[in-house]
Structure formats: C-alpha cells, structure tokens
Amino acid sequence: MFLSLDGIDGVGKSTQLQLLVEKLQQLGREVITCREPGSTQLGESIRKILLNDWETPIDVVSEMLLYMASRAQLVQEVIMPALERGQTVIADRYLLASVVYQGCGDRLDTDSIWDVGRVATGGLLPDLTLVLDLPLDEAASRLGEPDRIESRGDAYREALRKEFLSEAENRPQQIQVVDARGTKDEVADRIWSVVEKIVESDAR
C-alpha cells in the first residue's frame, strides 16, 4: 500500500504522518516513510539546492525537473523495492506537490507536469493522496523560518491552496481532502476514517 500526504506548508503534515505511521504499525504493518525532495543521497543533495541555496538562480522548469529527478531516484531506490517487499509506504509529499507548487508559477501548466511525472515515476502513483487543508492564516501561524519556497508570499500560497482543492475535485479517486482544523487527534481521526477503507481493501 502506498499513501502520500500533501497540502500547503503549515497544515501539520509531518505530525499527522507520524500519527498515521504509528496507527498502521499497531495493526502490524511494516511501514516506511520518505520525504520529498530527499530520502536518497541524490534527493538530499537536490533538496539543499532547491530549498536552502538562495544564491543559485533556478528557472521554474529547472526547478520542476529537479523535484522530478529527486522523485525518480526515490521511486527506484526506495518506494518500489519497499512495495515489492510488501511494506507500506507513506510519502511526505509526492507528484501532486510538483503539480501544485510548480503549476502555480507562471509558466507551467498542470497537465504537462502530470505528464513529466508519469515519466519520472514510471507511472507509480499512490493508492491515495491525502491533502490536508487549512485556511491560510491558520497554516501561516504554524510556520517557522521560511525556506526558499515558503518565502514566496500570500498570493502564491492562496493559489496553492486553491490548486490542491481543484486537483482533488478533478481526481476524486486519487486525491482526498481532509479538513486539518481542530486538535491533532481530531485531524488524525478524520485521516483514519479515509485510510481505513483502503487498509480494508488492501490484501497485504
């Protein structure tokens, strides 16, 4: 089983990912997690360039391809082998993040990004992507020091939120939105009510 979690920065994704891992482990599943960009040697090098290198100019197409390069390596090196071993994979962001974040720039359309993503991932998509959704001001209050992407301002963040919701509407089989307001246990319960159905239908 392969799940991914996504959403704008500050929605509580990392906390919820950890709670979901624990829940699945309690059910006896072997779970591995990965984060994007990163989780391989190449991916972590790319992460440094994309998020923390403020010196190097990066064009939006180059940026998208770097995220994809990190993802291609992750699929080959980590995700596919884990799925073949029968493990459950929970990804902290996946292809949808590129579609939304790079698609909300001014030059790339989301269909092209899905297309490049098909090549990068060899067509491997999660059984389900959960999008945690919060109003911008609530998400902003949870942010720490901004990275390169987070520093792009409120209009961009508002566009990101809308794009996450619209992708979910266009691909309801693939992407589900979870309301991320409330306590972390309330959100975890909402997530579980969605994931439970997939767990039940997953033979592994």
Rule CB under 6 A: which residues touch ligand TYD?
9, 14, 36-37, 51, 67, 92-93, 97-98, 101-102, 147, 149-150
Q: How far is the CB of 6 from ligand TYD (least distance, A)?
A: 8
Instruction: For ligand TYD, give the closer residue by CB, 88 or 102.
Output: 102
Cα separation, 96 vs 1, whole angstroms: 18
Strands ordered across the beta sheet of 128-133: 31-35, 88-92, 2-6, 128-133, 175-179
Instruction: For ligand TYD, give the closer residue by CB, 84 or 145.
Output: 145
Q: How far is the CB of 200 from ligand TYD (least distance, A)?
A: 28
Q: How far is the CB of 170 from ligand TYD (least distance, A)?
A: 18
Instruction: For ligand TYD, give the closer residue by CB, 27 or 58.
Output: 58
Q: How far is the CB of 11 from ligand TYD (least distance, A)?
A: 9
Instruction: For ligand TYD, give the closer residue by CB, 120 or 128.
Output: 120
